[in-house]
Structures are given as C-alpha cells and as structure tokens.
C-alpha cells in the first residue's frame, strides 16, 4: 500500500478551517469576553440582548467551536483516506464545514433562547 501525504495541496488548505475553529475555541475559553461588545465574542441578537445571555452564549460558543473543529477535522481525515479526487474532496469537506457551522450556530441560538426564556 502506497503512503499518501494528506497534508499537501488542497488538503492542507482545507484543514485550516478546523484548526482555526479549535484555536479560536481555546482562545475564547482562556480569555472570554467580559462585557457585551461589537468586536469580540459570540455576537448575535439574542446573545447581545443582555449580559446574562452574553455570558451564557459565550460560555457555550467555545465548546461548540471546539467540537465543530474536531468533527470537521476528523471528517477531513476520513475523506482524505478514501482517495477522492481533490475537487470532490474539497466540495464534500466545504459542505461539511458549512453544515457543522450551521448546526453549531443553531444549537447555541436554541440554547441561548431557552436560557433567555427561563430568565424572564
């Protein structure tokens, strides 16, 4: 069986997304945003509604980002081992990135919305 380096060409560029998500997650865990702002943190309408929502959403977001980054990285490794053509690999991994990101945002918004309702 011939060894293929999966960290070359399109594969190396595609793996940047999960790496960035994982790094951002660790950064948000180590230095979470303290107050509502328009520059840094998980910023959506519901998360910026009040300080309690802000704190809650910014506690969930790094965990969700870490999970998303790991899942997309593992999917990338799996897809790279299948031996797909580079353009098919890129399309499938980009699709999984988008899907995982949408799921992540949906979960955080859902949980923050439920948290907000309990606070009212």
List pLDDT tens digits, range 45-89: 999 999 999 999 999 999 999 999 999 989 888 887 887 787 888
Token pair for 109: 């918004």
Number of domains forming the structure of the chain: 1
Residue 100 inside a domain? The answer is yes
pLDDT at residue 93 in the model? 84
Q: What are phi and psi of 99, to 5 degrees?
A: -60, -45
Residue 5 inside a domain? The answer is no
* More confident position, 31 or 77: 31
Residue 83 inside a domain? The answer is yes
Residue 103 inside a domain? The answer is yes
Confirm if 64 and 58 have CB atoms less than 8 A apart: no
Residue 4 inside a domain? The answer is no
pTM of the model: 0.84
Host domain of residue 92 = 10-33+64-119
Residue 53 inside a domain? The answer is no
pLDDT at residue 13 in the model? 63
Q: Mean pLDDT score of the chain, rounded to an integer?
A: 88
Residue 46 inside a domain? The answer is no
């Amino acid at each position: 069986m011939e060894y293929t380096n999966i960290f070359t060409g399109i594969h190396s560029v595609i793996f940047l997304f999960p790496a960035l998500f994982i790094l951002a997650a660790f950064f948000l865990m180590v230095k979470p945003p303290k107050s509502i702002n328009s520059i840094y943190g998980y910023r959506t309408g519901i998360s910026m509604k009040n300080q309690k929502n802000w704190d809650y959403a910014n506690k969930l977001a790094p965990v969700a980002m870490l999970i998303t980054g790991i899942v997309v990285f593992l999917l990338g490794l799996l897809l790279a081992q299948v031996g797909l053509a580079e353009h098919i690999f890129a399309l499938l991994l980009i699709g999984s990135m988008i899907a995982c990101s949408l799921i992540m945002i949906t979960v955080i918004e859902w949980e923050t919305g439920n948290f907000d309702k309990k606070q009212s």
